[in-house]
Amino acid sequence: MSDFWIFMAFTAAMGLSIFLSLPVVYSKRAQGQWATALNAVAIGILVFLLADVFSDVAGLLYPGGSYIADPWYSIAFGIAFVVAFLGLYFVDNLPRSAPRGIGDDASKAGVPDLDTGPRRTALIIALGIGLQNLTEGLVFGAQWTLGALGLLAVVFVGFFLQNVTEGFPIASPFLGTNARRGVAMMVGLFLVGGLPTLIGGAIGYFWTNSLLLVIFDALAIGAIAYVILPMLRVAFRPLASRDLSVQRNKLVYLCVMLGFVLGFAVNAV
């Protein structure tokens, strides 16, 4: 059983490395064009994660490199994708105005308000990142039980570095805004994104199979596909003039590409 706790310690280090990007939220430079650039980089990272997660499951969906998909895995993948996407859609579209008195009581109690604006968007992104990290934990747990130390080290380092970058998408809705960024609220959002790594790791340590991997990967892909949309809405929101919008759009295009390259480079280490 001691082996399990050693494994969980490594998994915690991997999942909670997301906190290394927390200082970005409080950086004084995360305003104006820097905020636009960081938000676009975060989108690029998520686009890479989308491709990266699908590459993990593609071999199961298309066995032996065939162009003919496995029917049962494809059905499971499709259902899980829809569940994740629609689940975040319904969370994102919950009523945004609390009944009179509830919001005041919550504020007095120190409970973070995640009901409106950047807070709601950040929560949706954190949930999506969390589902993706659930899959990472599953893969890490499965590799640990196989005992392949060389491959295990590669998986750990890759996931650790990748998770560091995953804090940027969660923080991005707050960049360039005056929204309240309380430490407790941000820590909670980062835990939503990082803790599922431990849950997935525990599952993978004790039990895993191909169908479970397909389902987890599809949940992650559905979630990431959804969270990219509100981030794009923020990235391309109208500015005061057409010239400013054109300049901003050029910066967004470039930084989305840089974010994708960053995600790829970190994953290739």
Left (φ > 0), alpha (ψ -120 to 50) or beta: where does 117 sit?
A: left
- Residues 172-205 have pLDDT tens digits of 777 767 767 778 888 999 999 999 999 999 998 8
Higher per-residue confidence, 262 vs 79: 79
Q: Provide the b/e sequence for 140-163 (b: ≥16 CB within 10 Å).
A: bbbbbeeeeeeebeebbebbbbbb
Give the integer Cα–Cα distance in Å for 233 and 252. Answer: 12
Tokens 């974010």, located at residue? 259
What's the confidence (pLDDT) of residue 30? 61
Amino acid at 56: D
Tokens 């065939």, located at residue? 66
Portion of the chain with pLDDT greater than 70, in percent? 84
Helix residue spans in 93-173 (DSSP H):
102-108, 117-146, 149-165, 167-171
- Residues 103-142 have pLDDT tens digits of 444 444 333 444 457 888 888 888 888 888 888 888 888 8
Higher per-residue confidence, 105 vs 166: 166
Q: Is 100 helix (H, G, I), strand (E, B) or coil?
A: coil
- Residues 220-265 have pLDDT tens digits of 899 889 988 888 887 888 888 888 889 989 999 999 999 899 888 8
What element of type H or E holds 191? helix 183-194
Give the integer Cα–Cα distance in Å for 141 and 161. Answer: 17
Res. 100 pLDDT band, cuts 50 70 90: very low
Contact 112, 181 (CB under 8 A): no
Give the mean pLDDT of the chain: 80
Contact 134, 219 (CB under 8 A): yes
Number of domains the chain contains: 1
Contact 57, 214 (CB under 8 A): yes
What's the confidence (pLDDT) of residue 109? 39
What would the two tokens of residue 195 be? 């803790």
The pTM assigned to this predicted structure is 0.77
Name the residue range of residue 15's domain.
2-268
What's the confidence (pLDDT) of residue 93? 82
Residue among 151, 169, 161 nearest 47 (CA): 169
Higher per-residue confidence, 52 vs 158: 52
Mean pLDDT, to the nearest integer, of 200-223?
Answer: 88
What's the confidence (pLDDT) of residue 183? 83
